[in-house]
Chains A and B, each alone.
Chain A
Amino acid sequence: MQEFSYLLDGMLVVTTPYHLLLMVAGVLLGILVGVLPGLGAPNGVTLLLPLTFTMPPTAAIILLTCMYWGALFGGSITSILFNIPGEPSSVATTFDGYPLARQGRATEALTAAFSSALLGALTGVLLITFLSSYIAKFAMSFSSPEFFAVYLLAFCSFIGMSKNPPLKTVVALMLGFAMAAVGMDTISGNLRLTYGMPELLKGISFEIAVIGLFGIGEILCTVEEGLVFRGEHAKISVKAVLKTWASLPKYWATLLRSAAIGCWMGITPGGPTAASFMSYSAAKKFSRNKDNFGKGELEGVIAPETADHAAGTSALLPMLTLGIPGSATAAVMLGGLMIWGLQPGPMLFVEQKDFVWSLIASMYLGNVVSLIVVLSTIPLFAAILRIPFSIIAPVIVMVCTIGAYSVHGSMFDVALMFGFGALGYLFKKLGYPIAPLVLAAVLGDKTEGAFRQSMLFSNGELSIFWSNPLVGTLTTCAILLATWPLLMRALKYVTSGFNGRTVKN
């Protein structure tokens, strides 16, 4: 198949000492960022963005994606050793990972986590390799109404499918759109919502929101329990690693199922976090040792990790082919690509074929490199977390501040970031989802552009969104997804109403 030859070309481009060095650097930075609370994958990628401006796009995206894998791994380290999820998507790993560590089986847990993560990631990359060309070709026939419908579908799936209250998801989405709207209107050039403040001329960048919401907000949440970390020790012995690897094949069913869940949740904007939870629940339901879940069952680590990484990788598929990120980090990377002047979407596969296939090739290598690096550096990162909170926390805040400042060189952005930090704390505690906010902030301008173009074509008729079977299906699906919880409730009420009155909860 043609994909293989493209992939080989990409491999050739990617396997240079410079790129390999970048991979290792990216992974190390990623683990660091994943291990420290307040610096997660979206935040870390955002902080690195300004530094990539002087690099060629291929090198830059390799650095960022490897940082992404590293951050996912790093989140697992703290989950297992410290019962602190370094990433929202590694929360499920704490359920069985930390108990295993307390039983002195930290090496097993860590090895199982990383290896199943690698397998999950490779599944995602395989998916990208073989599906991306087809999807890109298919998306070539898209025009503005279709694009708007796809964006709408992405946003509506957040509303209907996540476990956050729908109204709060809507508010988060709208907040993201509002952020994107501030500043210059891309179509007419008018200044919007600046209220005469010169600092708002350049708008509110998504990076500021990400650093504040994910960074400062995360620290504030972690700090509630006290300003200290406590953790288990871990030394990697090669024997234990090999023993765990030998025991992995017997979990093939869990691995397959989790990878499938992860890939699905990555492509549809469910994200790695939802994937890890779903996979854990599924594994628990189907396992023979379901009672051991939560007390230190290896399967309880394998399932969420595989799904988490599969989702993280496959989230890049819609990002590359349609320009729709499937996770918050993918959203930030999308923002990065746009800043570098690349337009993710079907045209990327035509105009920048080398870039895309180098990227895909680097995903294979990057993941393998990540596994090697992470297994060899666990004691180092575990030691870093023993640095007292009183040093680490202010340093993290300082790094976040530098990151926010470096976006536009504006102190106003820094103040805004702190504000987002407070908002992030409140949002997390009250169940307002942050990922859709980031998505809306990154995609806001494009969504609006697609909408206005469509309105121009149709002279203001909304019916253009049902003008052909494709766009009609997409729009209808979007509306169905958004109103899903309402529909389900109505259905339940109607069907049980025939058996007498339901008890109001």
Chain B
Amino acid sequence: MSTNQEPGGRSFITVRAAELAVAAFTAIVGAVVMHGSYEQGIGWEDSGPQSGYFPFYIGMIMLAASLGTIVLTLKDWRALARSFVERAPFAHVMSVFLPVCVYGVAIRLLGMYIASLLFIGWFMWHAKGEVRHARWKVVVVPAAVVLASYLIFERWFQVPLYNGPLLAHFGIGQ
């Protein structure tokens, strides 16, 4: 249960570091909620509690619980030195998460269709392991998927997708 990672077996990211980071994040969120609610008024008025009353205590409880988690993490400092994630798995996660973030920004600039084309193409181009895609597939498959989504979403379900400033410049889309 308690694994002491002495020098020689140091984890990439330890559980205790991750716990502290997340608990700190939620503590900050709690504080922000408290602050925002305070501005709305946390007292009483004729029509009952003011707007900020309920969220203020929500934020307070969140802050308190987060601080509690931080305290518990500090208490178990030694035991929680075990690994949260190792270098290789983390690299795998980042190899998906980072392109996803870039995709998000790309949608904002290039619109949903072009960004998706590049996004799927990127993953196919960088496919590791068993499957290596032929060059033509890297172009055709994303194009087919994007065309299909256009037909399904914009035509059939009538859900307009974001076209972005680039296409708008050419007079396409909103």
* A-to-B contact residues, CB < 8 Å: 50-51, 54, 165, 167-168, 170-171, 174-175, 177-178, 181, 185, 187-188, 190, 192-193, 195, 216, 219-220, 223-228, 388-391, 393-395, 397-398, 401-402, 405-406, 409, 411, 414-415, 418, 421-422, 425-427, 429-430, 432, 448, 451-453, 455-456, 460
- Return A208 CB to nearest CB of chain B, in Å: 13
Partner of A452, one of B48, B101, B141, B153: B48
- In the complex, residue of chain A having the shortest beta-carbon distance to the beta carbon of B158: A54
A398 touches B119 (CB 8 A): yes
Asked if B160 CB lies within 8 Å of chain A CBs, one says: yes
B100 touches A390 (CB 8 A): no
Partner of A178, one of B47, B55, B69: B55
Point out the residues of chain A lying under 8 angstroms from B22, CB to CB. 426-427, 430, 432
A426 touches B61 (CB 8 A): no
Instruction: Provide the bound-state CA to CA distance between A405 and B59, in Å.
Output: 28
B107 touches A177 (CB 8 A): no
From DSSP, what is the main secondary structure of chain A's interface residues? helix
- Given A401-B112, A430-B22: A190 touches B40 (CB 8 Å cut-off): yes
Partner of B62, one of A54, A171, A228: A171
B48 touches A394 (CB 8 A): no
Instruction: Provide the bound-state CA to CA distance between A430 and B157, in Å.
Output: 38
B62 touches A391 (CB 8 A): no
- Given A178-B62, A181-B58, A405-B161: A418 touches B149 (CB 8 Å cut-off): no
* B-to-A contact residues, CB < 8 Å: 15, 18-19, 22-23, 26, 29-30, 33, 36-37, 40, 44, 47-55, 58-59, 61-62, 65-66, 68-69, 72, 84-85, 89-90, 92-93, 95-97, 99-101, 103-104, 107-108, 112, 116, 119-120, 122-124, 126-131, 133, 141, 145, 149, 153, 157-162
Partner of A391, one of B59, B65, B101, B124: B124
B72 touches A167 (CB 8 A): yes
Point out the residues of chain A lying under 8 angstroms from B93, CB to CB. 220, 223-224, 425
Instruction: Provide the bound-state CA to CA distance between A115 and B22, in Å.
Output: 42
A402 touches B107 (CB 8 A): no
- Return B34 CB to nearest CB of chain A, in Å: 10
Instruction: Provide the bound-state CA to CA distance between A432 and B23, in Å.
Output: 11
Beyond A181-B55, A226-B92, A401-B107, 6 extra complex contacts between A and B, CB < 8 Å: A167-B68, A170-B65, A174-B58, A181-B33, A390-B124, A430-B18
- Return B172 CB to nearest CB of chain A, in Å: 17
Point out the residues of chain A lying under 8 angstroms from B130, CB to CB. 228, 388
- Given A167-B72, A398-B120: A174 touches B157 (CB 8 Å cut-off): no
- Return B138 CB to nearest CB of chain A, in Å: 10
Q: How many A-B residue pairs have CB under 8 A?
A: 184
B161 touches A418 (CB 8 A): no
B40 touches A174 (CB 8 A): no
- In the complex, residue of chain B having the shortest beta-carbon distance to the beta carbon of A195: B36
Point out the residues of chain B lying under 8 angstroms from A223, CB to CB. 92-93, 95-96
- Return A452 CB to nearest CB of chain B, in Å: 5
- In the complex, residue of chain B having the shortest beta-carbon distance to the beta carbon of A395: B145
Instruction: Provide the bound-state CA to CA distance between A88 and B88, in Å.
Output: 24
Point out the residues of chain B lying under 8 angstroms from A216, CB to CB. 100
B129 touches A227 (CB 8 A): yes
Q: List 28 A-B contacts (CB under 8 A).
A: A50-B157, A167-B68, A170-B65, A171-B26, A174-B59, A178-B30, A181-B54, A188-B47, A188-B50, A188-B51, A190-B51, A192-B40, A192-B52, A193-B33, A223-B92, A224-B85, A224-B93, A227-B128, A388-B124, A389-B129, A395-B145, A398-B116, A398-B119, A398-B145, A432-B22, A451-B54, A456-B48, A460-B44
Point out the residues of chain B lying under 8 angstroms from A398, CB to CB. 116, 119-120, 145, 149
Partner of B96, one of A50, A219, A455, A460: A219
- Return B57 CB to nearest CB of chain A, in Å: 9
B96 touches A174 (CB 8 A): no
B159 touches A406 (CB 8 A): yes
Partner of B54, one of A168, A397, A421, A452: A452
Point out the residues of chain B lying under 8 angstroms from A227, CB to CB. 92, 95-96, 128-129
Point out the residues of chain A lying under 8 angstroms from B69, CB to CB. 165, 167-168, 171
A192 touches B49 (CB 8 A): no
A395 touches B159 (CB 8 A): no
A192 touches B51 (CB 8 A): yes
Point out the residues of chain A lying under 8 angstroms from B50, CB to CB. 188
Instruction: Provide the bound-state CA to CA distance between A398 and B118, in Å.
Output: 11
- Given A195-B36, A390-B123, A429-B18: A175 touches B96 (CB 8 Å cut-off): no
B129 touches A226 (CB 8 A): yes
Point out the residues of chain A lying under 8 angstroms from B99, CB to CB. 394
Instruction: Provide the bound-state CA to CA distance between A54 and B104, in Å.
Output: 29
Instruction: Provide the bound-state CA to CA distance between A192 and B58, in Å.
Output: 13
Point out the residues of chain B lying under 8 angstroms from A393, CB to CB. 96, 123
A390 touches B133 (CB 8 A): yes
- In the complex, residue of chain B having the shortest beta-carbon distance to the beta carbon of A445: B54
- In the complex, residue of chain A having the shortest beta-carbon distance to the beta carbon of B121: A394
- Return A378 CB to nearest CB of chain B, in Å: 23
B123 touches A174 (CB 8 A): no
Interface centre among B54, B72, B104, by most A CB within 10 Å? Answer: B54
- In the complex, residue of chain B having the shortest beta-carbon distance to the beta carbon of A399: B149
Instruction: Provide the bound-state CA to CA distance between A51 and B157, in Å.
Output: 6
Point out the residues of chain A lying under 8 angstroms from B129, CB to CB. 226-228, 389
- Given A192-B52, A406-B159: A390 touches B107 (CB 8 Å cut-off): no
Partner of A390, one of B30, B40, B47, B131: B131
Point out the residues of chain B lying under 8 angstroms from A415, CB to CB. 104
Instruction: Provide the bound-state CA to CA distance between A54 and B158, in Å.
Output: 10
Point out the residues of chain B lying under 8 angstroms from A406, CB to CB. 153, 159
Instruction: Provide the bound-state CA to CA distance between A405 and B116, in Å.
Output: 14
- In the complex, residue of chain B having the shortest beta-carbon distance to the beta carbon of A188: B51
